[in-house]
Structure 1
Amino acid sequence: MSRSADAFGARLREAVDAQGRIVAGIDPHAALLQAWSLPDTPQGLAAFSRTALDAVAGEVCAIKPQSAFYERHGAAGVAVLEELLAAARARGVLTILDVKRGDIGSTMAAYAEAHLRPGAPLEADAITVSPYLGAGSTDPAVQLALEHGKGVFLLALTSNPDGPQVQHALTRDDTPVAREIARHAEDLGSGVPGEWGSVGLVVGATVGDAYRRLGLDRAAPWAPLLAPGFGAQGAGPAQMSEVFGDNAGHVLVSLSRGLLSAGPDPAALTARARQLSAQYR
C-alpha cells in the first residue's frame, strides 16, 4: 500500500532523516522548574515551554509535551500547553502529545477530537494512547488520525515494574498481549517495506529482550517506536541494538531530563540537543 506524502509516518521519517531521532520530552515538573529558577506557576510553565521550544527547534525530530504537568495547573496550565502546541506547529516542529488516553466508543472518539482534529485548541501531530481496554478500543483515535494525516502511539511494552503483569500475559490463543497490540498497530498503520506506518508503539528502552522475545519486532516491523527510558532512566546507545535489534532504525529516542537538565541557558540546551542527536544517530 502506497502512503501519502503528508501521512504522519512519512513526515516523521523525513524529520528523523533531517534532524536525527531525538524526541525532546517537555516535562515541566516542579523540580525542573525550580532548577531553572522558575516559579511553579502557569507563568513559569510558559517561560519554560518557550525556552525549550526555541532551543530545540530544528535540532530534534519532534517534541513530546507531557500533558499532566500542564493539567495540574488547571485551565491556565492547559492554556500554556495550547500555546506551546500552536507555536511548535507554526515553526514546523512535530508534536507528540503524551496524554495516554484510553477509553471506549464515543468517549475515545471525543479524546481524539480534542487532540487530532485539525483546528482543535490542543491539536497535536500525534498522541499516545492506552490500548489496555482492548486493542480495538483505540480505533476511533486511529481512524481520526489517519483521516487527517496524524499519528497515534499505542502503549505496548512500558518500563514500569508492574507492566509485565498485563503486557506479557497470554491471550486465549497463547499470544502475548503486547504482541497482539503490535499486530493491531501494524494492521491499522499500513506500514510497508521502507516506509513507516502512522500507528506506532511505545516500547521502553529498559525492557531488556522482551521486545524481541515476545515477537513485537515481527508483528510490527514498520511501526515507529517511541522509546522512553534513555538517559536518566538508564538506557544508552547500546540499548538501541540490544533491545530493538534489526528494528533499531525505527526508534525515536525520547529524552527529557537528559536534555532539559542543560537548561535554562538556551545555548546550552541547543548544544546538548546537538550532542545527543549525534550520539544516537
Structure 2
Amino acid sequence: MTGTTEPFGARLRRAMDERGPLCVGIDPHASLLAEWGLNDDVAGLERFSRTVVEAVAGHVAVLKPQSAFFERFGSRGVAVLETSVREAREAGALVVMDAKRGDIGSTMAAYAESFLHREAPLFSDALTVSPYLGYGSLKPAVELARRNGAGLFVLALTSNPEGGEVQHAVRADGRSVGATMLAHLAAENAGEEPLGSFGAVVGATLGDLSSYDLAVNGPLLAPGIGAQGATPADLPRVFGDAVGNVVPNVSRGVLRHGPDVTALRAAADRFAEEIRAAVASV
C-alpha cells in the first residue's frame, strides 16, 4: 500500500455498516435488455448501465459489474464499463469487477494492472479472481491490490454445481481444495482490522457449510440470492458465525424491476433491509 490509501477491507466494512451488506450485480445480458425494452446493442447497454448506477449507486455498499456482458460489444462496450465504474464510485458505491481473471506470471500481472492499478481506466475497488492455476499464481494481483488499497475475491466455494468437481476435491493432506483456498485467505488477512481485503466467493445456495472454516477475517461474496433460490433468511444457516462478513449479491432480483429508477431503488432497499435483519438475528 502506498501513501495514505485506505485498505479495501476497511472501506468495505464501513460501507456495509452504513449502507447495509448488499452487492447489486450489473448484468446486462440480452434477455434483461429485452425485458427493459432495450435493443441488444451498445446504446441499450449504456442505457441499462446508467440506469442501474443512477438508481442504486448512492444507496448500496457494492456494485458488481460483470465484465463479460460489456466485453461482448468490443471497445465500445468496454468504454461503457469504464464510465459505469467511474460513476458508481463517484456516487459512493464500492465496485467489485466480476472478471474472474486467472493466469500466471506476467499475464496475471497484466490482468491485475488492468483492474487494480489506480491509474487504469477500469480501476475497481476489488476484482474477482480464479486460483485454479494454484493460489500462488495470484501473487501479482495480491501485491498490486495491497499497494493500491484494493481487494480480491477468490473463487473458493462457488454456487454452480460444476464447481464441486474441483473445489470439493480432496488433496493428499486430506483437506479439500476449497478449504485450502480459505486457509490461504485467512493467512493473507491475518492481523488486519477491522476486516481484511482478501475475500472468498462462497455461494449462498450451498446449504450447511459448518465443515468449512469461513473465518478468514475477510469478506465473503455470496452469489445466489434471488433468482438462484437462496433468500436473505438462509444466510445465518449457511454462513454461521461468519455471516457478519457476508456480502450477498443480488442481480436479477433487483434488475428485473427496471427500467424504473424508483422501483430498482426500492427493490435494492428491500433486500438490504432483509439482509440486515437476517444478520442481526445471529
- Is the TM-score greater than 0.5? yes
Task: Provide closer, same or farther for how the CA distance between residues 191 and 205 of structure 1 changes in structure 2, counting only shifts above 3 A.
Answer: farther
Is 1:41 aligned to residue 36 of structure 2? no
CA contact (8 A) 1:22 1:253 kept: yes
Give the match for residue 222 of structure 2. 227
Which sits farther off after the overlay, 245-254 or 167-176? 167-176
Q: Corresponding residue for 1:243?
A: 238
Residue identity matched to 1:199? F
1:91 to partner: Cα distance: 2.1
Task: Give the distance between the partners of 1:182 and 1:19, measured in 2 at CA.
Answer: 27
Q: Contact between 2:128 and 2:154, CA under 8 Å: does it hold in 1?
A: yes
Q: Which amino acid aligns with 1:217?
A: L
How do residues 12-31 of structure 1 correspond to structure 2 at under 5 angstroms?
Answer: 12-31=12-31
Aligned counterpart, 1:259: 254
1:5: how far off?
7.5
Offset of residue 191 of structure 1: 5.0
Please provide the CA RMSD for this pair.
1.3
- Structure 1 residues 115 and 146: alpha-carbon distance in aligned structure 2, compared to 1, 3 A threshold: same
Q: State whether residues 23 and 253 of structure 1, in contact with CA within 8 Å, keep that contact through their aligned partners in structure 2.
A: yes
Q: What SS class does the counterpart of residue 227 from structure 2 fall into?
A: helix
Q: Tell me what 1:202 maps to.
A: 201
Which structure 2 residues correspond to residues 126-275 of structure 1 after superposition, within 5 A?
126-192=126-192, 195-209=194-208, 211-213=209-211, 215-218=212-215, 220=216, 222-275=217-270
- Which ranges of structure 2 fall in alignment gaps of 5 or more residues? 277-282
Cα deviation for residue 161 of structure 1 reads 1.2
Instruction: Quote the offset at 1:238 in angstroms.
Output: 2.5
Secondary structure at the counterpart of residue 96 of structure 1: strand
Aligned-partner SS, 1:212: coil
Gaps of 5+ in 1: none
Q: Deviations over 1:36-84 (max 9, x none)?
A: 1111111111111111001002221010000000011111111100111
Q: Distance in 1 between matches of 2:143 and 2:184?
A: 13
Deviation string 1:254-281 (CA, Å, 9 cap, x unpaired) is: 0000001111000111111111111111
- The 3-state SS of whatever aligns with 1:154 is strand
Matched AA of 1:23:
C
- CA distance in structure 1 between the partners assigned to 2:191 and 2:53 by the alignment: 30
CA contact (8 A) 2:109 2:140 kept: yes
SS of 2:82's partner is helix
The answer to whether residue 276 in structure 2 is matched with residue 277 in structure 1 is: no
SS of the residue aligned with 1:202? strand
Per the alignment, residue 66 of structure 2 pairs with 66
Distance 2:111 2:5 in 1: 26
Contact kept in structure 2, 1:19 and 1:58, CA below 8 Å: no
Q: Deviations over 1:147-178 (max 9, x none)?
A: 11000000000111121111111112111111
Name the TM-score, length of structure 2 as normaliser.
0.94
Contact 2:116 2:123 in 1 (8 A): yes
Give the total of aligned pairs.
Answer: 273
Runs of 4 or more consecutive aligned structure 1 residues displaced over 6 Å after TM superposition: none
Which SS does the other structure have where 1:9 is aligned?
helix
| CA displacement, residues 114-154 of structure 1 (integer Å, 9 cap, x when unaligned) | 00000101111100000011111111101100111000000
- What is the rounded CA distance, in whole Å, between the counterparts of 2:214 and 2:70 in structure 1? 34
Instruction: State, as a whole percentage, how many aligned pairs show the same letter.
Output: 53
Tell me if structure 1 keeps the 8 A contact 2:232–2:271: no
Aligned pairs for 1:66-105 (under 5 A) are 66-105=66-105
Partner of 2:53 in structure 1?
Answer: 53
Task: Indicate if the aligned counterparts of 1:190 and 1:198 stay in contact, CA closer than 8 A.
Answer: no
CA distance in 2, matches of 1:216, 1:56: 33
How far, CA to CA, are the matches of 1:108 and 1:189 in structure 2? 21
